[in-house]
Amino acid sequence: MSKVVILGAGLTGLSTAYHLEKNKFSNYKIFEQDNTPGGLCKSIKQDGFIFDYTGHLLHINDEYFKTFLDSALGLENLNLIQRRSFVFSNETFTHYPFQTNLYGLPNNVISECIKGFVNRKTKIRKPKNFHEWVLKHFGNGIGKHFHFPFQKKLFSYDIKKVLPSWTGRFVPSTSLKSIVEGALEDKAKKVGYNSSFYYPKSNGIQTLPNLLLRQLQNKVLTNHKVSSIDLKNKIVFFENGHQESYNILVSTLPLNVFLKMSKEKSSTNLKSATNKLVCNSLINFNLGFNVGDLTTKHWIYVPESKYAFYRIGFWHNFSENMAPKGHSSLYGEFSHIPGTKTKKQLENLTQKCVNQTLSILGLSKQNIVIQKNLHLKHAYVIYDAWREKNLKKLHKKLNEESVYSVGRFGEWKYSSMQEAVLDGKIAAETIVNKTFLAASKTSLEKNIISQQDKKEATL
Ligand SMILES: Cc1cc2nc3c(=O)[nH]c(=O)nc-3n(C[C@H](O)[C@H](O)[C@H](O)COP(=O)(O)OP(=O)(O)OC[C@H]3O[C@@H](n4cnc5c(N)ncnc54)[C@H](O)[C@@H]3O)c2cc1C
């Protein structure tokens, strides 16, 4: 039977392993660089607080995933929460999404948004970039007051170089009726993919990888950081000196990292893509406060460019176990393109974000009882023209080398935890089918040869 090697034990890698075993396929090994599996879905526990690697909320709309969660954990162990999310701009909190909730904003802003919508550029047939996409669907006012500055901060990238293909379910649409109604009435609306969400009652989002982990027969080999991959001879090398050969490789590593480490046939030319794949990094600052009833909000989007961060969210409102009694906690995020900021600049920016957060919330430094800064090296993939043109070709070439690069960063896409579990399921099932077909073919071939041998022997 083919030997499968899985690189990375985040949700996608763990789900691949789980689904291989579910299909009675145990000839695999799974390696992880960290000393704990979980990837982006790890949680940190400190002084009674729990922090995830920034807000990780569960959006479930796939029956298989829901059934899996229910049987492995029990849905009763998840809080089902109706979103209370806001936008903070012009010193005002408005309900999210901005494009249907202008209530409370200065009149000139509301007027710009409505006029902009009426005069939106509906004639643009196929928007070339996110900027044009906003002009077509929302107009210049809503763009100027929310989407342009917000997305620029989230991506840390020129939004005229970002394609609109990622928008899909992530950006709720609007109409003149919704805009006007939302300007006249202060009322949250159930729109968008995240109007309600689930969150584990205890232990943070790490509950999810732990569920998969608990059910695996094979152990995750932690502290195994891949240093190079010999695609020709099908061997993975690790920094600790270990090496492992494979027939099929499943990589959940960021695609640019994987390509950089791969040694290939001169004809394949995969490595040249390494620097073309753009992804931003994120600093996630987490704060614990000695204040019990800070806010009932779940999260706040902060579009204005004078604020260094683009979002803050409140752990204690996801589950009461995220902060000790009488305390509250939050996460905040700001992004940068790797290599564009020094360590000192990032430290200064983090401090600026903390100070600005305190001032928005009316708190002081004396209220902070814990601060935990986390660095997510890979956060948001940039959907640029190069990606659009070349990504499929890259994956095709990798498949020809018996490599499946899967998951959020393996596939170089925006995707959720649910999708990570489903990506792993698809990878496992593809491998099982492929090896089953190959095995049947070999046994068929063997059968034919032995029949021929028999025939020859009787001649
Ligand atoms: C800012 C942000 C917010 C998000 N919010 C949500 C949300 O609210 N809801 C939601 O559903 N999803 C959310 N997601 C998406 C979710 O985090 C991902 O879809 C999911 O965690 C991806 O899992 P993965 O296994 O594909 O990748 P990862 O979790 O990145 O796992 C990859 C693994 O590979 C390992 N690895 C990397 N390099 C090496 C190496 N050289 N050698 C060995 N191992 C290596 C890593 O340590 C890691 O464990 C968010 C993502 C981000 C970035």
pLDDT at position 458 is 45
Rounded CA separation 156/140 (Å): 20
| Percent above pLDDT 90 for the chain | 86
pLDDT at position 310 is 98
| pLDDT at residue 1 tops 70 | no
Confidence of residue 434 (pLDDT cuts 50, 70, 90): confident
DSSP 76: G
Confidence of residue 437 (pLDDT cuts 50, 70, 90): confident
| pLDDT at residue 459 tops 50 | no
pLDDT digits (tens, 9 = 90+) for 27-45: 999 999 999 999 999 999 9
**Residue 414 C-alpha from the chain's centroid:** 6
**Nearest protein Cα to ligand 1, atom 52:** 379
Give DSSP secondary structure letters for 412-428. Answer: TS---HHHHHHHHHHHH
pLDDT at position 377 is 97
Residue (of 426, 41, 407) closest to 253 by Cα position: 407
CB of 427 within 6 A of ligand 1: the answer is no
pLDDT digits (tens, 9 = 90+) for 130-148: 999 999 999 999 999 999 9
pLDDT digits (tens, 9 = 90+) for 290-339: 999 899 999 999 999 999 999 999 999 999 999 999 999 999 999 999 99
Give the number of domains in the chain.
3
81 within a domain of the structure (yes/no): no
pLDDT at position 273 is 84
Same domain, 397 and 264: yes
450 contacts: CB under 8 Å, gap ≥ 6:
none
Rounded CA separation 394/269 (Å): 10
Q: Which domain holds residue 432?
A: 4-45+204-275+383-436
Return phi, psi of residue 308, to 5°.
-75, -25
CB of 194 within 6 A of ligand 1: the answer is no
Same domain, 254 and 107: no
CB of 39 within 6 A of ligand 1: the answer is yes
DSSP tally for the chain: helices H, then strands E = 13, 20
Ligand 1 mutation pick, 14, 42, 56, max ligand atoms within 8 A of CB? 56
pTM: 0.93
Same domain, 318 and 346: yes
User: The domain that contains 295 carries what CATH number?
Assistant: 3.90.660.20
Q: At what angle do helices 11-22 and 207-214 cross, to 10 degrees?
A: 30
pLDDT digits (tens, 9 = 90+) for 448-457: 656 665 555 5
User: The domain that contains 267 carries what CATH number?
Assistant: 3.50.50.60
pLDDT at position 456 is 53
* 285 token code pair: 């600052």
**Residue 199 C-alpha from the chain's centroid:** 16
Q: Are strands 85-89 and 78-82 parallel, antiparallel or unpaired?
A: unpaired
Same domain, 258 and 311: no
pLDDT at position 446 is 66
CB of 235 within 6 A of ligand 1: the answer is no
| pLDDT at residue 169 tops 90 | no
Ligand 1 mutation pick, 14, 40, 228, max ligand atoms within 8 A of CB? 40
Give DSSP secondary structure letters for 28-66. Answer: EEEE-SSSSSBGGG-EEEETTEEEESS---B----HHHH
Rounded CA separation 54/38 (Å): 14
Closest ligand 1 atom to 12 CA: 25
